[in-house]
């Protein structure tokens, strides 16, 4: 029985380490400092993203951030599924990884499983943001308006490219 317990706790420890690795930040990337969550709350429109299964086929994508009673952040992602001809919505939770003035959070839409949400660049007026996931397979450009100024959009894409993201694979979202 002791061997079983040791194996079980060893497996659980390994799983915990594996899952905790999902909330990291890619090498060479630094999250913004001087972050103010109160200014970040509200509605954002998805301008561009790298493709991934949980948003595939969605247009008119937006994210709404609001405070939760427990101090975390409520995340409501919404998009129009063109194949199904219907709106889809997912509710998640975001938490700070460390200090609350650093734009490094973790987000979960599936219980205890979190992914990295790293704010790489943020407009001083909180009008646009560049977000990296826990690795270079996840990248988003968000804006407070459905359309982002072309020069600003290109600057964010150029920054993402300089950080090693495959910007040639970006999907520009129809709003």
For residue 106, the cross-strand partners are 95, 116
Tens digit of each residue's pLDDT (9 = 90 or more) over 108-137: 998 889 999 999 999 999 999 999 999 999
- Structure confidence by residue, pLDDT tens digits, 82-114: 999 999 999 999 999 999 999 999 999 988 899
How many structural domains is the chain composed of?
Answer: 1
Question: What's the predicted TM-score (pTM) here?
Answer: 0.87
Per the rule left: phi > 0, alpha: psi between -120 and 50, beta: everything else, 118 is beta
Q: Nearest Cα to 105, choosing from 124, 90, 122?
A: 122
pLDDT band at 22 (very low <50, low <70, confident <90, very high): low
Which residues form the domain of 71?
2-172
In this model, does residue 6 exceed pLDDT 80? Answer: no
Enter the tokens of residue 110. Answer: 């599936």
* Residue pLDDT, tens place only, 153-168: 999 999 999 999 999 9
CATH of the domain at 14: 2.40.128.20
DSSP for 93-105, written as a single string: EEEESS-TTB-EE
Vertex 48: Cα angle to 46 and 53 (nearest 5)? 90
pLDDT recorded at residue 43: 99
């Amino acid at each position: 029985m002791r061997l079983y317990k040791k194996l079980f706790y060893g497996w659980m420890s390994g799983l915990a380490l594996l899952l905790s690795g999902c909330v990291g930040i890619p090498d060479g990337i630094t999250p913004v400092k001087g972050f103010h969550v109160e200014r970040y709350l509200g509605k954002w429109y998805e301008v561009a993203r790298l493709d991934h299964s949980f948003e595939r086929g969605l247009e008119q994508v937006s994210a709404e951030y609001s405070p939760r009673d427990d101090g975390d952040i409520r995340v409501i992602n919404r998009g129009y599924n063109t194949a199904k001809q219907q709106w889809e919505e997912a509710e998640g939770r975001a938490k700070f990884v460390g200090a609350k003035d650093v734009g490094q959070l973790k987000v979960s839409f599936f219980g205890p499983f979190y992914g990295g949400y790293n704010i790489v660049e943020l407009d001083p007026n909180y009008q646009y943001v560049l977000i990296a996931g826990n690795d270079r397979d996840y990248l988003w450009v968000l804006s407070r308006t459905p359309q982002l100024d072309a020069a600003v959009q290109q600057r964010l894409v150029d920054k993402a490219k300089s950080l090693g993201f495959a910007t040639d694979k970006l999907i520009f979202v129809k709003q």
